[in-house]
Amino acid sequence: MPGCDAFGLGPVELAAAVQAGESAFSELQRPWRWRAGAPALGARIGERVRALGAELPRVALGRVSADGSHKLLLELPGHADRVEAVHMPRAVGNGRVTLCVSSQVGCALRCDFCATGELGLRRHLTAGEIVAQILVALHALGPRHPGELTLVFMGMGEPLHNFENVARAVGVLNEPRGLGLSPRRITVSTAGLVPQIDALARLSARPLLAVSVNATTNAVRDELMPINRRYPLELLVAALERYPLRARERITVEYVLLAGVNDAPDDAARLADLCAGFPHQINLIPFNARPGSRYRAPTDAALDAFARALLARRPSIVTVRRSRGRDIDGACGQLVAARASA
Ligand code: SF4
């Protein structure tokens, strides 16, 4: 059982693998009990896990943003690959943290505005690598209580392209003998893989759903997000309209605003209409301009006009995400760790 595989096992599977009591799972999945000096495991579980050859990712580089975000560059055992996680404290002193994690090395979907997409897909992360990535980040930076953690699959990769491993990881993270992280504290963000959205709806530990829409006509979305050619807007919207939601649950619609491409008031009106058939909140994300990209960030005036046009069309919850970690390349669309390690 090489590398991180042990971290992707449930309590019964792990107990069988290490021929130990199910307490082994609790020890493995509760990083605040590990010894200081990350990432060293506590002595007893350390012996069991070392006997399996299991290892944790190593934190190769932790850069701190002026806004308090940490970007963790994680070396995966047994591979040359690196992935990134971004640790974002909500506000000074309240202990709550949003952790943005990766599901793949690179990404196959090649959205035109995204730095990760430029890499292409190198490989899927295993469930153990996904869970270990989270445990290492928690061990290094907290929080110590899962009730203070919000997890978002918005790092490198398209999580629903790696459906089996992401679903398994969510199940392990949800296990009460481990972290006990509620699926309602986990958001999976997709570019719009329709069959996998339907599959996500059938999970017993079903996380929250976010969808990157980013365009309001198929012509523009085909250009920005090639996945639209396979699952155009009408199929995507139909999947969102049939998606089962719990009480007070909404689908998060993400919309990256690109100056002169998708930020006109007419786009806002069409976006409101696309979302009319399902409970939602719309998250507007001004593009993070970066060297080499042909896209530009919208002006503040265009952003304001877009938000006003959205609300004028239909009542809705609209938020503007001011990206965290922009100065450390930890913001949306800036995660390119694999290239740095190439
Ligand atoms: S935006 Fe998401 S789905 Fe699109 S290429 Fe980037 S990582 Fe992949």
Q: What tens digit of pLDDT does each residue of 150-175 get?
A: 999 999 999 999 999 999 999 999 99
Q: Which atom of ligand 1 is nearest to the CA of 114?
A: 6
User: Following CA atoms 242, 248, 251, 255 in sequence, which dihedral angle do they give, to the nearest 10 degrees?
Assistant: 140
Whether the pLDDT of residue 221 is over 60: the answer is yes
Ligand 1 pocket: which of 123, 158, 187 to mutate (most atoms <8 Å of CB)?
158
User: In this structure, are residues 160 and 166 in contact, taking their beta carbons and an 8 Å threshold?
Assistant: yes
**Cα of 87 to ligand 1 centre, how many Å?**
19
Whether the pLDDT of residue 306 is over 90: the answer is yes
d(CA 167, CA 159): 9
- Alpha carbon nearest to ligand 1 atom 4, residue: 111
The structural domains of the chain, with segments of one domain joined by +, span: 5-341
What pLDDT was estimated at residue 340?
33
pLDDT tens figures, 100-156: 999 999 999 999 999 888 889 999 999 999 999 999 999 888 898 889 999 999 999
Residue 115: closest CA among 299, 341, 283, 337: 337
Average pLDDT of the chain is 88
d(CA 242, CA 248): 16
Give the CB-side neighbour count of residue 191, counting CA atoms within 13 A. Answer: 27
Q: Is 117 in the pocket of ligand 1 (CB under 6 A)?
A: yes
Whether the pLDDT of residue 22 is over 90: the answer is no
**Overall average pLDDT of the 295-311 stretch:** 95
Ligand 1 pocket: which of 101, 103, 109, 211 to mutate (most atoms <8 Å of CB)?
109
Whether the pLDDT of residue 317 is over 90: the answer is yes
Whether the pLDDT of residue 202 is over 50: the answer is yes
Active site includes 84? yes
Whether the pLDDT of residue 92 is over 60: the answer is yes
- Alpha carbon nearest to ligand 1 atom 5, residue: 117
Q: Is 110 in the pocket of ligand 1 (CB under 6 A)?
A: yes
**Overall average pLDDT of the 76-84 stretch:** 88
What pLDDT was estimated at residue 52?
67
Q: Is 329 in the pocket of ligand 1 (CB under 6 A)?
A: no
Q: Which atom of ligand 1 is nearest to the CA of 158?
A: 3
**Overall average pLDDT of the 258-282 stretch:** 97
Q: Which of 74-83, 121-130, 247-256, 259-268 has the lowest mean pLDDT?
A: 74-83
What pLDDT was estimated at residue 337?
47
What pLDDT was estimated at residue 95?
83
Q: Is 114 in the pocket of ligand 1 (CB under 6 A)?
A: yes
Q: Which atom of ligand 1 is nearest to the CA of 212?
A: 1
**Cα of 263 to ligand 1 centre, how many Å?**
20
Residue indicated by tokens 């002006």: 299
d(CA 311, CA 272): 8
User: In this structure, are residues 175 and 11 in contact, taking their beta carbons and an 8 Å threshold?
Assistant: yes
What pLDDT was estimated at residue 16?
84
d(CA 111, CA 203): 27
Q: 278-308: buried (b, 16+ CB within 10 Å) or exposed (e) per residue?
A: bebebbbbbbbebeebebebbeeebbebbbe
Q: How confident is the model at residue 98 (pLDDT cuts 50, 70, 90)?
A: very high
Ligand 1 pocket: which of 116, 152, 255, 323 to mutate (most atoms <8 Å of CB)?
116
Q: How confident is the model at residue 56 (pLDDT cuts 50, 70, 90)?
A: confident
d(CA 88, CA 16): 36
Question: Which of 84, 129, 158, 254 is labelled catalytic?
Answer: 84
**Overall average pLDDT of the 267-279 stretch:** 97
Residue 74: closest CA among 277, 337, 304, 266: 337
**Cα of 194 to ligand 1 centre, how many Å?**
15
Q: How confident is the model at residue 331 (pLDDT cuts 50, 70, 90)?
A: very low
Q: Residue 317 has which token pair?
A: 């919850």
d(CA 40, CA 31): 10
d(CA 84, CA 74): 6
Type of residue at 282: I
The bridge status of strand 82-89 relative to strand 149-153 is unpaired
Active site includes 158? no
Q: Is 119 in the pocket of ligand 1 (CB under 6 A)?
A: no
d(CA 157, CA 161): 8
- Classified as helix, coil or strand, 48 is helix
Who contacts 229 (Cβ-Cβ below 8 Å, separation ≥6)? 222
Helices (H) and strands (E) in the chain, counts: 12, 12
Q: Which of 20-29, 172-181, 236-245, 331-340 has the lowest mean pLDDT?
A: 331-340
d(CA 87, CA 72): 8
Identify the top-confidence range among 50-59, 75-84, 216-225.
216-225
User: In this structure, are residues 273 and 237 in contact, taking their beta carbons and an 8 Å threshold?
Assistant: no
5-341 is a CATH 3.40.50.2000 domain:
no
- Alpha carbon nearest to ligand 1 atom 3, residue: 158
**Cα of 212 to ligand 1 centre, how many Å?**
9
H-type helices in 227-321, by residue range?
227-230, 233-242, 265-274, 300-313
Q: How confident is the model at residue 27 (pLDDT cuts 50, 70, 90)?
A: confident
Q: Is 152 in the pocket of ligand 1 (CB under 6 A)?
A: no
Q: CA 109 → CA 89, 112, 158, distances in Å?
A: 29, 9, 7
